[in-house]
Amino acid sequence: MQVTIYSTPSCSWCRAAKQFLAENDIPFEDVDVSRDRTRAEEMVQKSGQMGVPVIDIDGEIIVGFDRPRLTALLGLG
């Protein structure tokens, strides 16, 4: 499973989401969109919006720290 999280360092929702992934032993790529313009555009392309965090799980896009959907998509339920 390929998990990418698009985040900014000062975003506490992002930190909550990353902590959730880490606590559930889900390896993920963390993209800091405040530093990487290209990847930021990639995030906007994928999600159709520009709020963080955005989580990409094998092409399924979750906007925001949507715990129930994240739990379902990661098969943690």
Partner 1 sequence: MGLLFAEPGPAARQLLEGDVYDVAVIGAGPAGAAAALYAARSRLSTVVLDKAPSNGALAITHQIANYPGVQENLTGQELLDRMRQQAADFGALFVQTSVQTVTLDREEKEIFTNDGILRARSVVVAVGARGRTRKLPGEEELLGRGVSYCATCDGAFYQDKVVAVVGDNEEAVQEARVLTEFARKVYLLVPGEAVWGMESGERPILPNLEIRLLTKTLRILGSPWITGVEVQHKGASPAVLPVDGAFVYLSGSRPGTDFLMGQAPLDEEGYMLVDDTMATAVAGVYAAGDARRTPIKQAVIAAADGALAAVAAEKYVRGHRRLVQQR
Report in angstroms how near the CB of residue 53 gets to partner 1 at its nearest.
8
62 touches partner 1 (CB under 8 A): no
Q: Please identify, using beta-carbon distances, which residue of 29 and 67 lies nearer to partner 1.
A: 67
Residue 66, SS3?
A: coil
Show the site string, 2-31: x = touches partner 1 by CB under 8 A, - = not.
------x-xxxxxxx--x------------
60 touches partner 1 (CB under 8 A): no
Which amino acid, one-letter code, is at 15? R
CB atoms within 10 A of CB 29: 11
Which amino acid, one-letter code, is at 2? Q
Count of residues making up the chain? 77
